[in-house]
Amino acid sequence: MSSNANWCKWARFLLTIIAFFLLGFLIGWVGRPCVNISPMKPQRIGNKLLNEMQAENIRIYLRNWTRFPHLAGTEKNLQLARQIQKQWKNWGLDSVELVHYDVLLSYPNKSNPNYISIIDENGYLIFNTSFFEKLPPGYENIEDLVPPFNAYSPAGIPVGDLIYVNYARTEDFFQLERELGINCTGKILIARYGKIFRGNKVKNAMNAGAKGLIFFSDPADYCAPGVHPYPEGWNLPGSGVQRGNILNLNGAGDPLTPGFPANEYAFRLDEGIGLPKIPVHPIGYKDAEELLRYMGGVPAPSEWKGQLNVSYNIGPGFKDSYSSRKVKMHVYTRNEVRRIYNVIGKIRGAVEPDRYVIFGGHRDAWGLGSIDPTSGAAVLHEAVLSFTKLMKEGWRPRRTIFFASWDAEEFGLLGSTEWAEDNAKLLQERGVAYINADSSIEGNYTLRVDCSPLLYQLVYTLTKKIPSPDDGYEGKSLYQSWYDKDPWTGYKEAPRIRKLGSGSDFEAYFQRLGIASGRARYTKNRKFDKFNNYPVYHSAYDTFEVVEWFYDPSFKKLLAVAQVRGGLVYEIADSIIIPFDCRDYAEALTNYANVLYEQAKQHQLQLNKYQVSFDSLFSAIHNFTRIAIDFHKRLEKIDITDPLAVRIVNDQLMLLERSFIHSMGLPGRPFYRHIIYAPSAHNKYAGESFPGIYDALFDIANAADERKAWREVKEQIAVASFTVQASAGTLVEV
């Protein structure tokens, strides 16, 4: 071969090599994904997680944790915390800490029990209410069940005439004072539990000038028709009493350290906020009947009448020959700073460890606490187990997940609020979502979800993947049974989802910090079941058996709730794009504004006179809607292999809920800072939309200064308009 041909051959060889080198280089360069990818596909992991969860496990936790009371601030509840900590550690969470705070709690005086008596004109006791509930069968030996009381009641022994005030709602006092002309000043009031949060009732009673308040559970509100009292059925027995705190904290957490965690160097107020000023005590309906039997005065309106065998007179005082008798309250409850313990477990996110999803529920209970809260705590526990099983196969969520077993929820959401205060900066900057895990059941009819509109679509998608536990829905989805049993009316073709109010540990996360939140549980048939909560709520009879015998013998409903809650946590923590839909917020805002506008239009004269217009609000919502639609169009086209592009839109999604927070809070309620939602000022449990406007419009006809009242409406419309407008701004392409 000539050297020329040889050279040619080598050149060809070299060129080929170079070509293939370049080809390789190119494929390597282009092909390298710039994002960490989980070893398993998200869809598969999600299903695996749901399938990991076992009804039987939930049953076992519930059984084990409800043998003794575990009241906040007691050794038993600390022991339970340690047990949970140990289990979570063993299962393999990255870290599990006990985080403590020293908060103001409240307990009856053990050597001086609380009760209420009827006394005659000489002061002799004619009748005393019982000190304790009869212990349920199987629990006769438990020693530390706290007797019925209302936490934070001041001590006091007021004596006076009784007035029956129905549910002690705002409207009840309006009726009492305006229509019936009855003055409550200096009287002892007796109110039935139900409809609204008991703390609101106490506030109303204080405002009315009462010197004491007695709560009772009326059978009309705490017994379902045709159902036996526990243990034969799930109704409240006559000796059963609902415990509960009577604070008006408005989101402050520990009454002595509002805004700050109750740590060792915290500054403690001389006088706590939200504390009631009058003695308050709860009784069962057996005792209530004795107090109400001989009441005098006018008969109560028919809607005020419950199902006791008495005439429901309003008073004041007793009638006829009983009229010299008085009612005397004996309350010796004391407030005390004690240590509480949250259990905080963590899985560090693989890709975005600085983004947090929080899954939390309380552990403390008034008594045995089977439904409240252990049916929730057991579900949380099973979720932790399932997540840790996935971790053993090498999985790790994209974002960090916190699991929290809160303490002292029953004393005013203290554990969760103090932790939120302790970590406010991190949570504001990094919190993607909060999923609550309080009581998993309040009935066995269908699913109930309360959540931010951002979560609607995710809830629907997820429930379509979860099997329905309902009879007659074998092989169908939870979505299907839920939709059939509780559809929206005239809003969306989907199951109804409710607004978040308060009454459980999501409060600080949603209403104060603006972290998208949700809660899910099984509920009763709200159309027909007119009783309140579930009958044995906060009584000695909230036992393991009430769940196993009556509510969910197969534990399938608890399992479905576990799958909903755990599934939400999983999807939010592991999806590349946070699975929020802003368009549902737009629709919700429109709906809320329409409702308020319709209400305001009933005062067209004043709207004109004081130049109050909703135009700016509708215009802002219109912009929000348009921008939300555009945002999701862009989202569809995003390059999910571009880590910064993904982070940028995820930040927008995460921070949208935050954009509704006004740093100074709602008028007079600095810790309720969400402009779109707040617990109702008249009932903490209920969620209110555009609360600033709603509250300004409430009872405007009776305002002392009409101009001032309408200026307030105008101001609140401006605040809401600006907030919505600014929120829309956060979704604009950056």
Stretch touching its own copies by CB under 8 A, among 110-118, 223-231, 662-670, 688-696: 662-670
Answer yes or no whether residue 48 interacts with its own copies by CB under 8 A.
Answer: no
Closer CB to its own copies, 251 or 373, in the complex: 251
Answer yes or no whether residue 425 interacts with its own copies by CB under 8 A.
Answer: yes
Best CA proximity match to 451, nearest among 695, 676, 198: 676
The rounded distance, in Å, linking the Cα atoms of 454 and 586 is 10
Per CB under 8 A, the list member of 56, 75, 177, 354 interacting with its own copies is: 354
User: To 10 degrees, what angle do helices 706-731 and 615-636 make?
Assistant: 10
User: Maximum CA pair distance of the chain?
Assistant: 137
Cα→Cα distances 23→9, 16, 28, 31, 430, Å:
21, 10, 8, 12, 42
The pattern of x and - marking residues 697 through 716 that bind its own copies according to CB under 8 A reads --------------x--xx-
Answer yes or no whether residue 28 interacts with its own copies by CB under 8 A.
Answer: yes
Answer yes or no whether residue 17 interacts with its own copies by CB under 8 A.
Answer: yes
3-state secondary structure of 95: strand
Q: What is the Cβ-side half-sphere exposure of residue 715, based on CA atoms within 13 angstroms? A: 11
CB of 158 to its own copies, least distance (A): 31
DSSP secondary structure, 633-664, as one string = HHHHT--TT-HHHHHHHHHHHHHHHHTTB-TT
DSSP state of 303: G
Answer yes or no whether residue 472 interacts with its own copies by CB under 8 A.
Answer: no
Burial label, 207 (beta-carbon count in 10 A; 0-12, 13-18, 19+):
exposed
CB of 717 to its own copies, least distance (A): 8
Answer yes or no whether residue 575 interacts with its own copies by CB under 8 A.
Answer: no
Closer CB to its own copies, 392 or 425, in the complex: 425
Answer yes or no whether residue 38 interacts with its own copies by CB under 8 A.
Answer: no
Answer yes or no whether residue 529 interacts with its own copies by CB under 8 A.
Answer: no
- Please give the sequence-ordered ranges of beta strands (E in DSSP) within 197-297, or none if there are none: 212-216, 244-245, 280-283
209: alpha, beta or left, given left = phi > 0 and alpha = psi -120 to 50? Answer: left
Residues 6+ apart with CB under 8 A from 134: 237, 239, 540
Answer yes or no whether residue 265 interacts with its own copies by CB under 8 A.
Answer: yes
Per CB under 8 A, the list member of 8, 11, 18, 298 interacting with its own copies is: 18
**440 phi and psi, to 5 degrees?**
-85, -15
Answer yes or no whether residue 553 interacts with its own copies by CB under 8 A.
Answer: no
The rounded distance, in Å, linking the Cα atoms of 353 and 351 is 6
Answer yes or no whether residue 423 interacts with its own copies by CB under 8 A.
Answer: yes
Closer CB to its own copies, 98 or 155, in the complex: 98
Answer yes or no whether residue 730 interacts with its own copies by CB under 8 A.
Answer: yes
Catalytic residues: 409, 613, 651, 674
Stretch touching its own copies by CB under 8 A, among 9-17, 69-77, 139-147, 496-504: 9-17
Alpha helices in 101-236 (DSSP H): 170-174, 198-207, 219-222
CB of 667 to its own copies, least distance (A): 12
Per CB under 8 A, the list member of 131, 648, 699, 701 interacting with its own copies is: 648
Confirm if 150 and 246 have CB atoms less than 8 A apart.
yes
Best CA proximity match to 247, nearest among 340, 333, 328, 367: 333
Answer yes or no whether residue 1 interacts with its own copies by CB under 8 A.
Answer: no
194: alpha, beta or left, given left = phi > 0 and alpha = psi -120 to 50? Answer: left
Closer CB to its own copies, 28 or 226, in the complex: 28
Closer CB to its own copies, 32 or 527, in the complex: 32
Closer CB to its own copies, 153 or 721, in the complex: 721
Best CA proximity match to 661, nearest among 629, 692, 699: 692
Confirm if 211 and 283 have CB atoms less than 8 A apart.
no
Closer CB to its own copies, 128 or 263, in the complex: 263
Answer yes or no whether residue 605 interacts with its own copies by CB under 8 A.
Answer: no
CB of 615 to its own copies, least distance (A): 8
Residues 6+ apart with CB under 8 A from 207: 173
Answer yes or no whether residue 29 interacts with its own copies by CB under 8 A.
Answer: yes
Per CB under 8 A, the list member of 655, 667, 698, 700 interacting with its own copies is: 655
Per CB under 8 A, the list member of 54, 263, 591, 599 interacting with its own copies is: 263
The rounded distance, in Å, linking the Cα atoms of 578 and 434 is 13
Answer yes or no whether residue 6 interacts with its own copies by CB under 8 A.
Answer: no
Per CB under 8 A, the list member of 166, 235, 375, 400 interacting with its own copies is: 400
**162 phi and psi, to 5 degrees?**
-95, 140
CB of 284 to its own copies, least distance (A): 43
Closer CB to its own copies, 94 or 290, in the complex: 94
Burial label, 185 (beta-carbon count in 10 A; 0-12, 13-18, 19+):
exposed
Per CB under 8 A, the list member of 647, 667, 698, 700 interacting with its own copies is: 647
Per CB under 8 A, the list member of 97, 144, 429, 699 interacting with its own copies is: 429
Question: In the chain, what are the helix, strand and coil shares in percent, each to the nearest 5?
Answer: 40, 20, 40
Burial label, 140 (beta-carbon count in 10 A; 0-12, 13-18, 19+):
exposed
CB of 607 to its own copies, least distance (A): 15
Map the footprint of its own copies across residues 324-353, applying CB under 8 A: 351-353
Per CB under 8 A, the list member of 127, 171, 670, 703 interacting with its own copies is: 670
Per CB under 8 A, the list member of 10, 25, 131, 174 interacting with its own copies is: 25
CB of 672 to its own copies, least distance (A): 13
Residues 6+ apart with CB under 8 A from 22: none
Chain centre to alpha carbon of residue 224: 24
Per CB under 8 A, the list member of 616, 700, 703, 706 interacting with its own copies is: 616
Closer CB to its own copies, 143 or 270, in the complex: 270
Residues in contact with its own copies by CB under 8 A are 13, 16-18, 20-32, 34, 259-261, 263-267, 270, 351-354, 400, 422-426, 429-430, 615-616, 643-644, 647-648, 651-652, 655, 658-659, 663-664, 670, 711, 714-715, 717-719, 721-722, 726-727, 729-730, 734
